[in-house]
Structure 1
Amino acid sequence: MSTKSVRIGETIYGPDQLIPLETVSQYIGLSVRTVQDMASRRALPVHKIGRNVRIRISELDEWLTDTKVRGAQPPLRTQTRRRGQS
């Protein structure tokens, strides 16, 4: 879990703070609608508080780390035999 504070816009959030989906969208660079869709599918680590949906900064950071995709690796080169070679 992250122990660092994070600045999103003009506000600084502690790692244990719950933030609204609008702020999450700014933090991860996706549209609010995409974040809302991901939250409704439980693709993000959400907390429902009454009618409000929030995400804890430290859990979001952990989720981002866990879902990180490694860059594409170049294909392995295989030796091909030319005609006439044994």
Structure 2
Amino acid sequence: MSDRWVSVEEIAEYLGVSKDTVYGWIAKKDMPAHKVGRLWKFKTDEVDEWVRCGKASDDHKENEAAEPVSQKRKRAGGEKTDG
């Protein structure tokens, strides 16, 4: 199953998650997916690497999203001031 393109249903079954989880990962966690017409298709080797890098974990992007805006600005080069 590593060389052919697989569907949302197949990748969900492969990973042991629901189709809704897969769609959420595409939208929020940059899951490697390719749009073919109106269908999403996947290469299992790309998805395997994405999982191995920890990008499917619950805390991967949520920690960054939960960080206060002021902290994000400091990391990005300083806070903006009014005046």
TM-score normalised by length of structure 1: 0.56
Q: Say which of 48, 59, 62 aligns to 2:49.
A: 62
Aligned position for 2:34: 47
**Structure 2 vs 1, CA of residues 42 and 50 (structure 1 numbering), >3 Å: closer, same or farther?**
farther
Percentage of identical aligned residues: 30
Moved over 4 A (4+): none
- After superposition, the C-alpha distances for 1:39-72 in whole angstroms (9 at most, x for unaligned) are 2335210011111111101101111111177xxx
Q: Distance in 1 between matches of 2:13 and 2:44?
A: 12
Alignment size in residue pairs: 56
Q: Which has the larger radius of gyration?
A: 1
Higher strand share: 1
Higher helix share: 2
In structure 1, the gaps of 5 or more residues are 1-12, 70-86
Aligned position for 2:25: 38
SS of the residue corresponding to residue 48 of structure 1 reads: strand
Q: CA RMSD in A?
A: 1.9
Amino acid at match of 1:59: E
SS of the residue corresponding to residue 19 of structure 1 reads: coil
Aligned position for 2:65: none
TM-score normalised by length of structure 2: 0.58
In structure 2, the gaps of 5 or more residues are 58-83
